[in-house]
Amino acid sequence: MATHAAKHALVYGGAGALGRAVVAHLRTLPHWTVTSVDFAANPDAHRNIALPPLPPNWTAAAESVLAATPGELDAVVCVAGGWVGGHAGDASFVQSVETSVAQSVQSSAVAAHIAAKRLNPNGLVVLTGSQASLSPTPGMIGYGLAKAAVHHLVRSLGAGTSAGLPTGATALGILPVTLDTPMNRKFMPDADFSSWTPLETVAAQVASWAEDPSARPKSGALVEVVTKAGVTAFTPVKE
């Protein structure tokens, strides 16, 4: 019977909908230990690291997570984020940008720093972008701006060891269209759910990349996650 070396994953945003799915899937693999980082605990994780209450000091957050993370890591998965709408003329526009940057850019930056400091050679870091942010997003500028910044971070991390990641590490961005979450179903009850991506499908793909470096796209790739008629495709964006 084949045995697997012990592995350790850190899931940043592990108490959110997608984070819980990633934690749950990795828990089905007996050689993986999973640490969740979030404002709330995830009881399914082996270990939880609590983030400070909002508004956070992100430098302090990065330092506290590093200090609380036991040992080295084989995968860092950042699925923290949130959606904020609005155009430049809205009274709350600047606030929407600030919120989106905190939710997506700062969380991804902390995750990238943790990966640079703790990831083993040939490890994996996954950040969450957005397929919509490959194009202009006039009705959700703050969100689009933040996710585009995450895309830039992924490409930069994938540029080689000069970006700070260890030898052989892979940085990938997942760019979903719409995830099938309870919150999305609540606010869009009449949508075509067959075009929404199940959380477990994303979690399974992330776990597959974590398990097998040869199955990963090229480091720095942005991977569109598109579901049509209930079938999901993971397709790297052409450079």
Closest CA to 147 of 112, 173, 183: 173
Nearest to 141 by CA among 185, 78, 99: 99
Q: How far, in Å, CA of 188 to CA of 208, rounded? A: 30
Rounded to an integer, what distance in angstroms lies between the CA atom of residue 198 and that of residue 225?
Answer: 11
What is the distance between the alpha carbons of residues 82 and 62, in angstroms, rounded to a whole number?
Answer: 20
Distance between CA atoms of residues 124 and 216, nearest Å: 9
12 is catalytic: no
Catalytic residue among 143, 196, 209, 234: 143
Question: Is the pTM higher than 0.85?
Answer: yes
Taking only the tens of pLDDT, the chain with its 239 residues reads 456 789 999 999 999 999 999 999 999 999 999 999 999 999 999 999 998 876 668 888 889 899 998 889 999 999 998 899 999 999 999 999 999 999 999 999 999 999 999 999 999 999 999 999 999 999 999 999 999 999 999 999 999 889 999 999 999 999 999 998 888 888 888 888 889 999 999 999 999 999 999 999 999 999 999 999 999 999 999 87
Q: Among 104, 61, 97, 101, which residue's Cα sits nearest to residue 81?
A: 104
List, edge to edge, every strand of the sheet that includes 73-78.
47-50, 32-38, 7-12, 73-78, 119-128, 170-176, 222-228, 231-236
Dig out the tokens for 98 from the structure: 């600030």
Angle between helix axes 107-118 and 141-157 (nearest 10 degrees) is 10
The pLDDT of residue 60 is: 86
Walk me through the domains of the chain, giving residue ranges and CATH numbers. 7-173 (3.40.50.720)
